[in-house]
A and B are shown apart, each in its own frame.
Chain A
Amino acid sequence: MSLELVCPAGTPAALRAAVDAGADTVYCGFRDCTNARNYPGLNFDPDEMAEGVAYAHRFGRKVLAAVNTFPRAGDAKPWHDAIDNAARAGVDAVILADIGVLDYAATRHPDLRRHLSVQASASNELSIAFYRDRFDIRRVVLPRVLSIEQVAALVRRIGIETEVFAFGSVGPMSEGRCFLSSYITGLSPTSEGACAPASHVSYKEDGPETLSRLGDVTLNRFSHGEAAAYPTPCKGRYVTHGRTSYLFEEPVALNAIDILADLQAAGVTALKIEGRQRSRAYVTEVVGSFRKAIDALDRGQAAAVENTLASVAEGQRQTHGAYTKGWR
């Protein structure tokens, strides 16, 4: 089986770009707090979602709707509406994280295919089995914390499809359970859908350097032209033992393009490209490269793939992340 290429779209234009560049599947979210990339100007209204689905289906591709944040108590309506609207738009599956939202979708739309979002942080056989058995999820998006060997072991045991991250920003924390951004800004990624919301991000010139700040907290200092990441708390520099370092994660992008054969051998169904907040240009470039790589792999020419994605990688540096030893 060829690896399914699952690509991000923050806008209808990006969806078309992804389809045109060879995505098998495009995932996107609604224009509110119901998805984990709730940034201003981004995402789809219900009509745009329906049009996006129509465009993708015309070319035989799929669309997934991410409804992967956690409803606030007493305010489930936006999430229920998102599920209903996704079903109405004819999406091929919804990507969910919250147990209550999963329950709603499974009860109200039993025929709408359900995927488990990485935000659910299901990192082991038993967690995945829980969601599979309770809510009949058909695919799990695995957290970015597992080695290839662990992925392979899970694939053998869980009996449902797996989707793994192949490119994009690497979050080192267990996702959906990280409160660092709300600790600093008061806005919760889990329920508002934005880690390091732009409203709280600022940049300040400081002589030859720039400071990036989140709320009242200085997260990084870099000289002009130095590669830096969007100021999420886990990509900042901190001081421990009097020494300054990227304590959690360097500004690097995960890029698994040269280990696709290993991921395929591990039995994964789909490769996910991160980056609904990135530009159409990013989508076109990354999707195009992965399309070529997967096609080459299918022809048995894995070694022929050239890795030319450094320029669009976060911080312009790349890593295999947890897939290979040493990351932990």
Chain B
Amino acid sequence: MQRSRPLAAASLSLIPGPLLARLTVLLNRAMRRRHPRLVANFARLDPAVVHVFPSDLPHRFAIEFGGGKMDVRVLPEPDVRPARGDGAKPPDAEIRGNLMALIDLLEGRIDGDAMFFSREIEITGSTAVIVAVRNTLDREEILITDEIAAMFGPLERPARRIAQRIDTAIGRARARIETIHGRLHENAGPSRDLGAECDALRAEVKTLKTRLAKLDVRQMRTDSAATGAP
């Protein structure tokens, strides 16, 4: 269980933004199906919005709950496009931390008291809201790998394989860029291959993303068929 967390964190960190937004829709749906009590428990809290900033992800999330509902959303990138009307609600609290720590929080491994003194998680805003979130999460046995697996259902294994491929591709890209960076510093002049290498990488990642998106669409269909939703 412990060992699966880095993989979960890695696969999340590799998912491109738009796809992640789709995944969030799936996540909400899966949560309602798999953890109706968790959703109900969030829904009966005092209304609040919490923003979550995983430090090793380019994405931010908003958890909105209380007053009979609960929703998780990917926030629009503030520097890319202007905040939409519905994303403008200021948060009551913010949680920042690396993905691993946040998954620990989600899975009930981080203690309420300990959370405020942890160096891995930084909390700002209303303490009452944060305490409510942590206590509510702690009511439910959640394992993020199970959630991901459940979200993809029978397609879990191909999804994981692709995530690993993306991981490998990006790892290779990083290594190459580091090499190029090194050359630049040696004042050897820009590599003639740089443009070509980038194009190749871009193409490879794009193919992989498309395949992941297709999996996503297939999953949506299965999901709709299962729930009877349009």
Contact = CB atoms under 8 A, between A and B. Distances in A.
Q: Find out whether A and B make contact in their complex, taking CB atoms under 8 A apart as touching.
A: yes
Interface residues of A, number: 31
Interface in A254-298: 277-282
A40 to B, nearest CB: 4
Interface string B118-141: 010001001111111111101111
A167 interface: no
B138 A279 contact: yes
Given A203-B116, A230-B116, A279 B128 contact: no
Contacts of B21: none
B131 A281 contact: no
Contact of A281 (B41, B108, B123): B108
Interface residues of B, number: 28
Given A13-B138, A13-B140, A281 B109 contact: yes
Interface string A213-235: 00000000010110111100000
Given A278-B111, A279-B108, A282-B111, A41 B127 contact: no
A314 B111 CA distance: 11
B113 A314 contact: yes
A1 B187 CA distance: 80
Nearest to B115: A279
Interface stretch (A57-65, A123-131, A151-159, A194-202): A194-202
B128 A281 contact: no
Given A199-B127, A280-B108, A41 B113 contact: no
B135 A225 contact: no
A41 B116 contact: no
A10 interface: yes
Contacts of A14: 138
B131 to A, nearest CB: 4
A13 B141 contact: yes
A115 B223 CA distance: 51
Contact of B117 (A39, A228, A312): A228
Contact of A13 (B108, B126, B130): B108
B100 interface: no
A100 B15 CA distance: 59
Contacts of A40: 45-46, 128-129, 131-132, 135
A136 B35 CA distance: 43
B91 interface: no
B110 interface: yes
A13 B41 CA distance: 13
A278 B112 CA distance: 6
A269 to B, nearest CB: 29
Nearest to B131: A198
A212 B46 CA distance: 24
Given A41-B131, A41-B134, A197-B128, A279 B112 contact: yes
**CB-based closest 3 A-B pairs:** A41-B135, A40-B132, A198-B128
10 contacts: A41-B45, A41-B139, A198-B132, A199-B127, A222-B117, A227-B117, A230-B116, A278-B111, A279-B110, A314-B113
Given A11-B135, A11-B139, A40-B131, 8 more contacts: A11-B138, A13-B140, A40-B128, A40-B129, A41-B135, A203-B123, A278-B113, A279-B111
